Chain A
Amino acid sequence: MTASQPPQHTSAPEPVVTTAGPPPVPTARPVKQTERPHPLTPFVRGWLVFVAIAIGWGRELVTSASDDQFDAGGLTWILPILGIVVVLAAVTGFVAWYFTRFVIDDEELRIETGWIFKKSTKIPFERLQSVDIIQPLAARIFGLAELRLDAGNSTTKLRYLSRGKASRLRDYLLTRAHGQRASIRELDQQAAASIFTDLGMTDQPLVQVSPQRLILSFLLSSEWLIPAAITIIIVVVTTAFGVVPLALGGLIPLIIGMLTLIWRRVIGMFNFTLAESPRGMRITRGLTNLTSQSVPINRIQGVKTSQPLLWKLLDWYRVDVDILGYGHGDGEDNESNATSVLLPVATLDEVELAIGRVLPGFDLDDIELHPSPKRVRWVRWFDFWTLRYGWDDRTLITEQGWFTHVRDVVPHAKTQSVRIEQGPLQRLLRLADVHVHTPRGPVNAVAHQLDEETARELALSQLDRARAARAAERQRRAVETVRTDDHQGEAELLAAFRTGRDQLLGAGGESEVFAIDHERVLRLYRSRHEAPRRTAVQLHALYQGWAGTDIGLELPMILDMGERSGRFFTVDRRLSGRNFSGWLQHADMAQRRPALISFLDATERLRLLPSPVPGFARLIGEGAPQQFSTLVELLSSMLRGPLENSRTQLERDVPGVAEVWNRLHGELAQRSVVPAMVHGDVCPPNAYISRGPDGPVVTGIADFSPHTVHADPLMDVAGALIFLELEPYADAAADAAWLEAIAVERHGRDVVRWIDMYRRFYGFYFSNAYAFDPQLYAWCLRQLAR
């Protein structure tokens, strides 16, 4: 190696610390409780060795039987040796077990092994890339499981633990790996995974492959049918000529190959379940050895969907993924290693569901696929009609084959390099292939046999698309990094106020709020917030101006502010009741609708609050209060900042965006109102609900912010309806439409037009969310398309 770049991983570049030499003496730290794996471990390991030997010897016997000489004499000398080996294995197993100790607690993950050469491995939680549970048959019988920890390039195994403990530890470690604080004690109450599927309580199965379907799909797969057909032909032909023994030499490897295939495809994939948990996707599979493996979405480099000829009858597909760092062989390991099979067999709906999860936000259906030119039939006479390729701004798709139809999908951001190839025959016909390279794995995207011009165009433009996609990815990651930076100095500050992350009440773009006690909350401004002190001072003044006005709602109040550990904070009055957004998710319709009416009432009362300045004005932010002579001027000034960031993105995503923009301005100019107080962001997360005499009602509105202005009071009414659509509960859209009908009843038919105008306004206003919140951005696009 002459020159190198630092290894490129998505997670923190901190190395796994492995120190050889004596580990810290456990007694030196009386607090720390180290544990040994389950005491049955040596027996299980010894048993596994025994089984391995038995299988190896059994194979030997089969091969020698093919020579028509069964040597029973072998038994007499092999048995004592076998006994000694098993005893030795048991002793080594015992020693290994005795000297293995581990600590998994709130502070660290450390595993100590070795008798003579001691080794202590400490893995930082953030460095963990996946935590898998493997239950080999023998361990499974005893209710044990192996915990496999993947960190960077090294895999650490912890075997064996009781099944319940293993799944609890996995949940805990995955929580920590996601950078969240959790205490290991909290998890003790959780139920263990079951012996058959190993799904935790919180896992939602997305796709389950039934044994019938698995077996039928296997019997119809080309990989099985071809060797099966050859075997039958050989048997029939040799029987007809009466020379069966001659064929044994060829038949036995063939049969072993077929058995291996059954082992891999049926036994290994038995009960295959793709599930979704709060910690990402998870695959569990296996009849004898049960494996549970997480699917690291951010390490997926490409997706391959394939369909053997006979599966067409049933419309079944198989899905494989390229996962960075999983590149061993064809990636389909029978035993217990990580698999790159996402779905061994699935219907089209299930395939779309799964691909939607692993490539979130990609729209593959809209990509137009182009066929290869007609003259290709001279070179690819066997499958020229199946060759297709297509792309959009995020992905490239190639298709080929009819015996097994394969479709490869590669996100541009994952493209490694591009190659154009042309053989002599292709040169004659002016054709060329374009290869798009991805990291090692099953995906192999090749656009076969394109016209020379097209090939060159595709390859060169692919480089540009990949570059653009990488830049977008970098930007997205930068935002994420900022988010993690947010936590700097946080722990100290939270400790000073005797609160913690578990007391988090809510989080927004500018700040996070933690409960201190029943009366007060700690508002911690994010470090990327440009001027938190200015915002807090302006808000404080605004709130004081409201002190004498009672509008029947609890409003925020700033009790104290300051700076500590480099972070700016305020201590605010705690509003009573529950967060409205959280409450909505669990309420049924009968409770929800009256509460939503009270929410609408609350937003209509906000206009009664006095403003420090007359006329249209921005009340919070640089130079505030900043006055404007008309509504259009004020709102244009609000849109300027966000649009600077999102203009190019919108030009790409919204057809005729200039028209939408002009229309919005035209309508705003027609709107004439008397200015009043506008919260600017009245969404359920900023509202609080309490139980009133006639059921739950909204009693508080919090989180006034730089969105707060003195402008058209209808803005908040419109906001209440249109932001409701963003709520994550199932009937949110229906509720929003219903609430809009109520608002129309109250304010007259004319109001629909103005609500739609504010939809477009907020669509532009929040459009810079494309960089950090794809869901909010998608919402913006919907508003602009109306």
Chain B
Amino acid sequence: MEELFAPPAYEWKRLSPKYRSMRQLTSLVVPLVLLTIPAVIVGVASGRWWISGLIWAAAIVIVIVRLSYVPRSWRSWGYVEREDDLYITHGVMFRSLIAVPYGRMQLVEVESGPLERAFDLASVTLKTASPETGARIPGLSPEEATRLRDRLTELGEAHASGL
């Protein structure tokens, strides 16, 4: 099974552990916040606070499931720069492995949102002429993201070929 997605004769590079922490935080906060709002509304409006209790219980179950899922999801990510192409793999239930030849890259983007910045993270996206390519590596340290961007741009220029 693992062989299907392993790069030939290479070790996967993994994401920053900070990305796992960030995902853990969002897994904890997002369901709680999202479900607290209807829970409070139901409680205030009907006065039946036991319904709110049930909603909170559901939120806690979701949080536990998601928290247990985060480390596996984090581990599933990997990327490797080969001589001619970049491989990215991810997914726990639905797994995928994408290979983008450097010669086909049109654009390399580095992004970092406010939450990512708080965790000192950045993501790198590769674009080709095909919209289906969707090659994105999240949760990199800014240094690694910049290095990867420069490296990929350089390789892209070296391998560039027209359409």
Residues of chain A having any CB pair with chain B under 8 Å: 1-5, 7-10, 299, 301, 324, 327, 414-424, 427, 430, 432, 435, 437-440, 444, 452, 455-456, 459-460, 463, 466-467, 470, 473-474, 477
Whether a CB of chain A sits under 8 angstroms from the CB of B133 is: yes
Q: Is the CB of A459 within 8 A of B99?
A: yes
Across the interface, which residues of B come within 8 angstroms of A5, CB to CB? 105-107, 153, 156-157, 160
Query: Whose C-beta in chain B lies nearest to the C-beta of A459?
Result: B99
In the complex where A5-B106, A421-B95, A467-B101 touch, is A416 in contact with B153 (Cβ < 8 A)? no
**Cβ B4 vs Cβ A455 within 8 A:** yes
Contact assessment for A439 and B162 in the assembled complex, using a CB-CB cutoff below 8 Å: no
State the CA gap A452–B106 with chains docked (Å).
30
B62: Cβ under 8 A from any A Cβ? no
Which of A1, A3, A459 has the most chain B CB within a 10 Å cutoff? A3
Contact present for B160 and A8 (CB under 8 Å): yes
**Contact yes or no, A417 B130, CB < 8 A:** yes
Q: Mark B148-163, 1 if CB is under 8 A from A, else 0.
A: 0110110011001111
Additional A-B contact list (18), CB under 8 Å, known A10-B162, A427-B95, A470-B103: A3-B153, A5-B106, A5-B153, A8-B129, A299-B163, A301-B163, A327-B131, A414-B163, A416-B130, A418-B99, A420-B96, A421-B94, A422-B95, A459-B97, A460-B8, A463-B99, A466-B101, A473-B162
* CB neighbours of A430 from chain B (8 A): 1
Give the distance to chain A from B91, nearest Cβ to Cβ, in Å. Answer: 8
Residues in A whose Cβ lies below 8 Å from that of B129: 8, 324, 416, 439-440
Q: Nearest Cβ distance between residue B87 and chain A, in whole angstroms? A: 10
Chain A residues with CB under 8 A of B149: 2-3
Q: Which residues of B contact A474 (CB under 8 A)?
A: 161
Given contacts A417-B133, A460-B8, A463-B85, contact A470 B97 (CB under 8 A): no
A414–B101 alpha-carbon span in the complex (Å): 12
B97 near A8 (CB under 8 angstroms)? Answer: no
The interface residues of chain B lying within 8 Å CB-to-CB of A10 are 162-163
The residue that A417 contacts in the complex, of B3, B100, B157, with Cβ under 8 A, is B100
Q: Are B130 and A437 in contact (CB under 8 A)?
A: yes
Tell me the residues in window 37-77 of chain B with beta carbons closer than 8 Å to chain A beta carbons: none
Contacts of A421 in B (CB 8 A): 94-96
Whether B109 and A9, one on each chain, are in contact in the complex, defined by CB atoms closer than 8 angstroms, is no
| Contact of B28 with A by CB under 8 A | no
Chain B positions within 8 Å of A, measured between CB atoms, are 1, 3-5, 8, 84-85, 93-101, 103-110, 128-133, 135, 149-150, 152-153, 156-157, 160-163
A417 touches B4 (CB 8 A): no
Check A417/B135 contact, CB under 8 A, given A5-B157, A10-B163, A470-B161.
yes
Listed residue (B133, B157, B163) with the most chain A CB atoms within 10 angstroms of its CB: B163
- Provide the residues of chain A in CB contact with B163, threshold 8 Å: 8-10, 299, 301, 324, 414, 439
Inter-chain contacts of A423 with B (CB < 8 A): 93-94
A selection of 15 A-B contacts at a CB cut-off of 8 Å is A5-B153, A5-B160, A8-B161, A414-B163, A416-B104, A417-B133, A418-B98, A419-B96, A419-B98, A419-B99, A427-B1, A432-B4, A463-B85, A470-B103, A477-B162
Provide the bound-state CA to CA distance between A423 and B130, in Å: 23
| Chain A residues closer than 8 Å to B161, beta-carbon distance | 8, 470, 473-474
Bound together, the chains give a CA A392 to CA B123 distance in angstroms of: 37
Per DSSP, chain B at the interface is mixed
Q: Report whether A9 and B96 are in contact in the complex, using a CB–CB cutoff of 8 Å.
A: no
Instruction: Give chain A residues whose Cβ lies under 8 Å from the Cβ of B107.
Output: 1, 3-5
B97 x A416 contact (CB < 8 A): no
Provide the residues of chain A in CB contact with B84, threshold 8 Å: 463, 467
Chain A residues near B132 (CB, 8 Å)?
417, 419, 435, 437, 444
Assess whether A439 is in contact with B130, with CB atoms less than 8 Å apart.
yes
Q: Which residues of B contact A456 (CB under 8 A)?
A: 3-4
Residues of chain A lying within 8 A (CB to CB) of residue B108 = 2-4
Chain B hits for A327, CB < 8 A: 131
Q: Bound state CA distance, A474 and B5, in angstroms?
A: 31
Q: How far is the CA of A474 from the CA of B133 in the complex (A)?
A: 23
Q: In the complex, A299→B163 CA distance in Å? A: 8
Q: How far, in angstroms, from A3 to B149 measured CA to CA in the complex?
A: 8
User: If A8-B163, A463-B85 touch, does A422 touch B4 (CB 8 Å cutoff)?
Assistant: yes
A9 to B163, CA, bound (A): 7
Q: How far is the CA of A277 from the CA of B110 in the complex (A)?
A: 47
User: In whole angstroms, what is the CA distance A473 to B107 when docked?
Assistant: 22
Q: Give A5 to B160 CA distance when docked, in angstroms.
A: 8
A2: which B residues are within 8 A, CB to CB? 108-110, 149
Set A9, A415, A440, A444: member contacting B162, Cβ < 8 A: A9
Q: Is B99's CB under 8 angstroms from A417's CB?
A: yes
- Chain B residue at minimum C-beta to C-beta distance from A456: B4
A416 pairs with B133, CB closer than 8 A: yes
Closest to A440 in B: B131
- Output the least CB separation between A439 and chain B (Å): 4
Q: Give the docked Cα–Cα distance between A164 and B21 (Å).
A: 70
Leading 4 A-B pairs by shortest Cβ distance: A416-B130, A437-B130, A439-B129, A3-B153
Q: Which of B96, B130, B133, B152 has the most CB of A within 10 A?
A: B130
With a cutoff of 8 Å between Cβ atoms, the chain A residues found around residue B5 in the complex are 420, 422
- Cα–Cα, bound, A637→B1 (Å): 55
- Least CB distance from B51 to A in Å reads 34
| A420 adjacent to B4 (CB under 8 Å) | yes
Q: Which residues of A contact B106 (CB under 8 A)?
A: 4-5, 7-8
Could you tell me if B109 and A437 are in contact, using CB atoms closer than 8 angstroms?
A: no
What residue of chain B has the Cβ atom nearest to residue A414's Cβ?
B163
CB distance from B65 to the nearest CB of A (A): 16
CB-based contact A452/B4 at 8 Å: yes
Closest to B124 in A: A2
Given A1-B107, A2-B110, A473-B161, does the pair A463, B101 have CB atoms closer than 8 Å? yes
When chains A and B are docked, how far (Å) is the Cα of A2 from the Cα of B111? 9
Contacts A9-B162, A420-B5, A473-B161 given: A437-B133 contact, CB under 8 Å? yes
Rounded to whole Å, the gap between the CB of B79 and the closest CB of chain A is: 14
Query: A324 → chain B, closest Cβ, in Å?
Result: 6
A732 to B19, CA, bound (A): 70
A473, B130: Cα distance in complex, Å: 19
Question: B5, B98, B157, B160: which has the most chain A beta carbons within 10 Å?
Answer: B98
**A466 cross-chain contacts in B, Cβ below 8 A:** 101
**Please, which residue of chain B has its CB at the minimum distance from the CB of A4?**
B107
How far in angstroms is the closest Cβ of chain B from A129? 12
Q: Report if A422-B96 is in contact (Cβ < 8 Å); known contacts: A8-B160, A9-B163.
A: yes
Whole-angstrom distance between the alpha carbons of A247 and B6 in the complex? 56
User: Complex formed: what's the CA distance from A748 to B39 in Å?
Assistant: 104
